[in-house]
């Protein structure tokens, strides 16, 4: 019988997270339709080189030049006119995106207002993002686990790697040694480490020329502080406890402090040109996914 608001869940690695991530990813096209209503285009412009080349997307029709392969003639278009036309595709190039989810014990927290733990939500988002990215041909990697993979089944492979590698629970920030320039880094974490540590690491990554996106996963209990009465708080990482006679009296002080941390992080990101997103686990995972996707597409949404 659970008497408390929050609980520490079991680690969610390998237990259906991928399946759920697939589900979220499958929803994304629908979400994109929705997003297209706001921003005219989300997918079509992404990494397009705005020039003729090899790719799948249509770029232009142009008159046939003598000497070109007859196979390139678009007969349907040509039939409408006297001259002969060739169909050009847009040149598209793949991009490298590093996806990483925090796995520290604090991520295992779940309060009664949330459906899943923070870790579960972070993994789902990470895999869903991987799925979406790999579907559009990007190379996706997981720092410390795999190098970037260019495959339609990248999410599956990364999941398998992770469950085999069982990454250390103590790491609160991805290993940045293997990252090379001009790539994207997406971090799903609760960022409960001291803010200065986090900012120092972000600065280090940014210096390598990597563009980053921080997705701040928050449990609703962490930003509403619904505790009342005599309460003993225990830190799941250090195990230290703290007792308050009337938890409700410190509520506003805590909330202010929590917001301030968040704001500091967001301000830093803005200065670096990074994205900072906040996602609470009592909202739908799909909304976060769309938001991340939109940011990666370069839209400020």
Partner 1 sequence: MSLFGLSFAAPALLFGLLALPLIWWLLRLTPPRPREEVFPPTRILAEIEKQEETPANSPWWLTLLRLLMAGLIVLALAEPILNAREDQTSGTGPALIMLDDTWSTGADWDARVVTTQRYLEEFAAAGRPVALAFSSLGARADFTPGAASELQPLVAASEPQPVQPDNLALAASLTASEVAFGTIVLLSSGLNETNAPELMAAITAKSAGEVIVVRAETLTTRALGQLENRPDVLVAPVVRATNGDTAAGTVGAFDRQGRLLGQAPFSFSAGDTVTNAEFALPVELRNDIARVEINGSSTAGAVQLLDERFRRRRVGLIAGGNADRDQPLLSPLYFISNALAPFSDVREADSANVVETVERFLNERISTLVLADIGRIPTAAETQLREWLDNGGTLIRFAGPRLAAAEDDELVPVTLRRGGRSLGGTLTWGTPQKIVSFEADSPFAGIQVPEDVAVTRQVLAEPGIDLRDKTWASLEDGTPLVSAARFGKGTVILFHVTADASWSNLPLSGAFVDMLRRIVAVSNGSVATEQLRSQTVSASAENTDASTTPQAVISLPPLQVLDGSGRLTGPGSDVRPLETGTGTAINVSLENPPGLYGTNDAFAALNLFGENAQLTALSDSDLPAGARTVGYVEAEPFPFRAWLFAAALLLLALDCLAVLWMAGALRLPRFGSAARLRGASVILASMLALPLFLASAPAFAQTASSDANAVIDFENTLKTRIAYVRTGVSSVDAISRKGLTGLTQFIASRTSLEPGPPVAVDISTDELAFYPLLYWPISTDAPLPDSETMARIDAFMKRGGSVLFDTRDQISGGFGSSRLTPETQRLREILATLDIPPLEPVPENHVLTRAFYLLNVFPGRYLDGRLWVETSQREDEQDADRPARAGDGVSSILITANDMAAAWAVEPDGAPSLPIVPPNPTQRVYAYRTGVNIIMYTLTGNYKSDQVHIPALLERLGQ
- Contact footprint for partner 1 (CB under 8 A): 1-8, 106, 109, 112-115, 190, 192, 194, 219, 221-222, 227, 229-238, 240-246, 249-250, 253-254, 257-258, 261, 282
- Minimal distance, residue 216 CB to partner 1, in Å: 12
Q: Which is nearer to partner 1, 61 or 258 (CB)?
A: 258
Q: Which is nearer to partner 1, 117 or 146 (CB)?
A: 117
Q: Which is nearer to partner 1, 53 or 236 (CB)?
A: 236
Cβ atoms within 10 Å, residue 216 = 19
- Minimal distance, residue 103 CB to partner 1, in Å: 13
- Minimal distance, residue 247 CB to partner 1, in Å: 8
Q: Which is nearer to partner 1, 202 or 247 (CB)?
A: 247
- Minimal distance, residue 113 CB to partner 1, in Å: 6
Q: Which is nearer to partner 1, 161 or 237 (CB)?
A: 237
- Minimal distance, residue 240 CB to partner 1, in Å: 7
- Minimal distance, residue 70 CB to partner 1, in Å: 55
Q: Which is nearer to partner 1, 135 or 223 (CB)?
A: 223
């Amino acid at each position: 019988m659970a008497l408390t608001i929050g609980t520490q869940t079991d680690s969610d690695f390998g237990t259906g997270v991928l399946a759920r991530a697939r589900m979220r990813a499958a929803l994304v096209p629908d979400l994109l339709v929705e997003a297209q209503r706001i921003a005219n285009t989300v997918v079509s412009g992404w990494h397009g080189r705005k020039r003729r080349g090899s790719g799948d997307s249509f770029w232009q029709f142009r008159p046939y030049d003598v000497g070109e392969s007859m196979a390139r003639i678009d007969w349907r278009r040509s039939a409408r006119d006297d001259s002969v036309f060739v169909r050009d595709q847009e040149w598209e190039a793949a991009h490298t995106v590093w996806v990483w989810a925090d796995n520290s014990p604090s991520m295992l927290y779940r309060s009664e207002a949330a459906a899943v733990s923070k870790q579960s939500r972070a993994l789902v988002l990470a895999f869903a993002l991987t799925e979406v990215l790999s579907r559009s041909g990007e190379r996706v990697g997981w720092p410390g686990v795999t190098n970037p993979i260019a495959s339609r089944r990248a999410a599956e492979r990364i999941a398998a790697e992770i469950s085999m590698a069982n990454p250390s629970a103590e790491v609160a920030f991805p290993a940045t040694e293997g990252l090379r320039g001009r790539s994207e880094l997406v971090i799903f974490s609760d960022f409960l480490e001291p803010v200065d540590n986090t900012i120092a690491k972000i600065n280090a990554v940014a210096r390598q020329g990597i563009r980053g996106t921080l997705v701040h996963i928050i449990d609703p209990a962490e930003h509403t502080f619904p505790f009342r009465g005599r309460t003993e708080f225990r830190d799941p990482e250090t195990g230290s406890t703290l007792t308050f006679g009337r938890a409700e009296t410190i509520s506003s002080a805590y909330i202010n402090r929590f917001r301030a941390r968040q704001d500091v992080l967001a301000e830093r990101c803005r200065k670096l040109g990074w994205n900072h997103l906040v996602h609470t686990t009592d909202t739908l995972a799909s909304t976060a996914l769309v938001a991340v996707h939109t940011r990666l597409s370069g839209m400020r949404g």
